[in-house]
Amino acid sequence: MKRVIAIDGPAGAGKSTVAKIAAEKLGYTYIDTGAMYRGVAWKTLREERDTSDAAILRAVRDIDVRLACTESGTRVTVDGTDVTSEIRTPEVTHIVSRVAALAPVREKMVELQRVMARDGAVVMDGRDIGTNVLPDADVKIFLTASVEERARRRYEEMKEKGYAVDFDELKGEIASRDKQDSERAISPLRRADDAVLLDTTALSIDDVVARILELCE
């Protein structure tokens, strides 16, 4: 049976990391919906003079965002340009919540995401997959972790990539993003009623993946 697996949770909970590994082990396609919103943010920063709502809506109007699964991971292209690395910069991270909160942006991305999941055998992660994008998903999981732990993970990730980041500032940004994501009017971050809650604060990546695979049996 080709299942559809939805993984939701706040920033830094480890969604992308474990979803990618679980998809590989299941032989499924991994769909990183956050990367799609980051693609819109990247295009806004590249082509517009500002990051106002109007600028974001101009950027998304005719955007072509594509995800391709390769041996080295998911490649992201925006209008034919590979932006896999560029969408992970602090500048993109800084505005992506505002980008994702705009109804026309979400409508366009959700439409693309549903097409990608149409044939099953997918693991999709994001903020509103189980509640809005794929409400009929076969398996729904809500990953979470303490703000402190999520900030630590993001701090290590950014340091590895060569970015100079302040831990306390990062922690504040994550708490702020939690608030933005959970309070936005359109498809807020929340756990679906039928989603399994998985707190990853004290768990290793392998532990989390093993639990996800158990739920998919």
Q: What is the pLDDT of residues 114-170, one digit of tens each?
A: 999 998 999 999 999 999 999 999 999 999 999 999 999 999 988 988 888 899 999
How much is the average pLDDT of 65-87? Answer: 90
129, 100 contact by CB (below 8 A): no
Q: What is the CATH number of the domain that holds 102?
A: 3.40.50.300
Q: In the prediction, which pLDDT does 132 show?
A: 94
Residue 207 has pLDDT above 90, yes or no: yes
Q: What is the pLDDT of residues 22-73, one digit of tens each?
A: 999 999 999 999 999 999 999 999 999 899 999 999 999 999 999 987 777 7
Q: In the prediction, which pLDDT does 187 show?
A: 85
Q: In the prediction, which pLDDT does 133 show?
A: 95
Residue 210 has pLDDT above 90, yes or no: yes
Give the pLDDT band (50/70/90) at residue 92.
Answer: very high
182, 189 contact by CB (below 8 A): yes
Q: What is the pLDDT of residues 159-205, one digit of tens each?
A: 988 888 899 999 999 999 899 889 988 888 999 999 999 999 999 99
**Domain count along the chain:** 1
pTM of the predicted protein model:
0.84
- Domain encompassing residue 35: 4-215
Q: In the prediction, which pLDDT does 82 show?
A: 97
Q: In the prediction, which pLDDT does 186 show?
A: 83
Q: In the prediction, which pLDDT does 73 show?
A: 77
- Angle, CA 123 vertex, CA 120 and CA 124 arms, to 5°: 105
**87 vs 39: CA distance, rounded Å:** 6
Q: In the prediction, which pLDDT does 28 show?
A: 93
Report residue 154 as tokens.
Answer: 């993001």
Angle between helices 15-26 and 205-215 (to 10 degrees): 50
